[in-house]
Amino acid sequence: MKRVFLGVGLLFLLLLTACGTEDIGQAPQTLSERIPSLTWREPDVLDASQTFSITRSQEGYVLLTIADDGAFLVVPAGMPVPDDLPAAVTPLCRPIEHIYLAGSATMDMLVKLDGLDSVAFSALPAQDWTIPAAREAMEEGNILYAGRYSAPDYERICGGDCDLAIENTMINHSPEIREQLERFGVPVLVDHASQEATPLGRMEWIKLYGVLLDREEQAEAVYEAQARSIRDLEGTESGQTVAFFYLSSNGEVKVRRPDDYIPQLIHLAGGRYVFDDLPETSALSTVTLQWEDFYASARNADVLIYNSTVSEPLSDRADLVAKNPLLADFAAVQRGAVFCTRENFYQASMELGDLASDLHRALSGEREGLTYLIPLE
């Protein structure tokens, strides 16, 4: 039975109140205890995530809390919203069928859950998706473009019976957008996977989406397959040092913060990230280096990986050296141990285990059959 688009006045008032003064950053046990009409169990024990929690009731309701950013009660199909639901908790009634997806990393998780039919609107146009199923769904008109996260098409979203907007943390830079969506009765769930401390924590968010789409067994299976790939690499040592970087249009060198998930994947693959000693002061995932500092750290790196996902793709090492002739001095360039990322490198958010395996193969000298990396001749 399709969910009524928040037409009941009480639910609409609850959503408005959730934007008010009541604290949503409470522990899940505290919030669940404030819904005494339901009988609650202990929160699920998660494998690695530190930014969300799952607490279940014996009646089949599920309470999701996200960092200090929201609490949601997932209501089973055909069941009522509890009368004693606190204003700090937003009800999400299954089936959830008309999602506005503004967090691109979430798409791969929904695809892995066979949940693409639950997405009605996208914040990326078709040509920006590197996930084939997402691009095809948009080209066929099954998913409609509804504006970037910072400029959503409210008329299309609200007119299409949208029952959930999934954003990433970039929405925090535009709080008025979130407030407007909620004012129109569209619940907003902010994906905090990018703030997880580990690749496993990032991927475990698929369990939250498994709850939303009522596909928990599938979510568990997908997660475990990727987690197994990562665990299989534990203790791996290649002895290779790695520089992961790109050059901006004005020639600035951009590298990943040492606590970012890309350096973590490099370590899991048996490599050592040459920028491990950078101070972790940036709020962004990338750090800008002076060329002299980059040269000193990366000149003798065993392997260079050029991040062409956010820059133009490279055809060969000559293309790389053309960006700065001093790159010809680098040991990896001279040895031919240079790779660039494929376009699917970032949007494959539920394939980090496979990505770590790919990195391990590259560090071990393999150049054929890589999924996420292109060797530069």
What is the distance between the alpha carbons of residues 261 and 213, in angstroms, rounded to a whole number? 27
Return the SS3 of 276. coil
Question: Number of folded domains in the chain?
Answer: 2
251 and 157 in one domain? no
For the ranges 155-164, 207-216, 279-288, 356-365, which has the lowest average pLDDT? 279-288
Domain boundary among 228, 247, 262: 228
Tell whether 356 is covered by a domain: yes
181 and 40 in one domain? yes
Task: Kindly indicate the confidence band of residue 128, based on its pLDDT and cuts at 50, 70 and 90.
Answer: very high
Over residues 337-342, the mean pLDDT reads 95
Domain boundary among 209, 228, 247: 228
What is the distance between the alpha carbons of residues 37 and 59, in angstroms, rounded to a whole number? 10
pLDDT (0 to 100) of residue 278:
86
Is the model's pLDDT at 11 over the cut of 60? Answer: no
Over residues 230-244, the mean pLDDT reads 94
pLDDT (0 to 100) of residue 281:
60
Could you tell me the two tokens for 41?
Answer: 């169990």
Looking at the DSSP bridge assignments, the partners of residue 287 are 255
Instruction: Please work out, in degrees rounded to the nearest 5, the angle formed at the alpha carbon of residue 39 by the alpha carbons of 38 and 43.
Output: 110
Is the model's pLDDT at 9 over the cut of 50? Answer: no
Tell whether 70 is covered by a domain: yes
200 and 131 in one domain? yes
258 and 195 in one domain? no
Over residues 49-74, the mean pLDDT reads 95
pLDDT (0 to 100) of residue 31:
78
Query: CATH code at 258?
Result: 3.40.50.1980
Tell whether 348 is covered by a domain: yes
Is the model's pLDDT at 6 over the cut of 80? Answer: no
What is the distance between the alpha carbons of residues 261 and 48, in angstroms, rounded to a whole number? 13
202 and 249 in one domain? no
279 and 214 in one domain? no
pLDDT (0 to 100) of residue 190:
96
Cβ neighbours of residue 289 closer than 8 Å, sequence gap 6 or more: 252, 253, 254, 255, 275, 297
Domain boundary among 179, 195, 228: 228
Tell whether 3 is covered by a domain: no
260 and 215 in one domain? no
274 and 191 in one domain? no
Range of the domain at 119: 9-228
pTM: 0.88
Task: Round the average pLDDT of the chain to a whole number and report it.
Answer: 90
Is the model's pLDDT at 194 over the cut of 50? Answer: yes
Tell whether 365 is covered by a domain: yes
Tell whether 308 is covered by a domain: yes
CA dihedral of residues 227, 230, 234, 238 (deg, nearest 10) = 180
What is the distance between the alpha carbons of residues 296 and 307, in angstroms, rounded to a whole number? 19
216 and 89 in one domain? yes
Amino acid 69 reads: D
What is the distance between the alpha carbons of residues 63 and 70, in angstroms, rounded to a whole number? 11
pLDDT (0 to 100) of residue 36:
93
260 and 187 in one domain? no
Tell whether 79 is covered by a domain: yes
Render pLDDT for 170-192 as a digit per residue (tens, 0 to 9): 999 999 999 999 999 999 999 99
Cα–Cα nearest to 284, from 256, 247, 310: 256
Is the model's pLDDT at 345 over the cut of 80? Answer: yes
262 and 138 in one domain? no
Tell whether 2 is covered by a domain: no
154 and 70 in one domain? yes
Render pLDDT for 271-312 as a digit per residue (tens, 0 to 9): 999 999 887 665 678 899 999 999 999 999 999 999 988 777
Q: What percent of the chain has pLDDT over 70?
A: 91
Residue 238, Cα to own-chain centre: how many angstroms? 28
Task: Kindly indicate the confidence band of residue 56, based on its pLDDT and cuts at 50, 70 and 90.
Answer: very high
Return the SS3 of 53. strand
* Residue in the structure block whose two tokens are 């948009």: 138
Is the model's pLDDT at 27 over the cut of 60? Answer: no
Render pLDDT for 141-167 as a digit per residue (tens, 0 to 9): 999 999 999 999 999 999 999 999 999
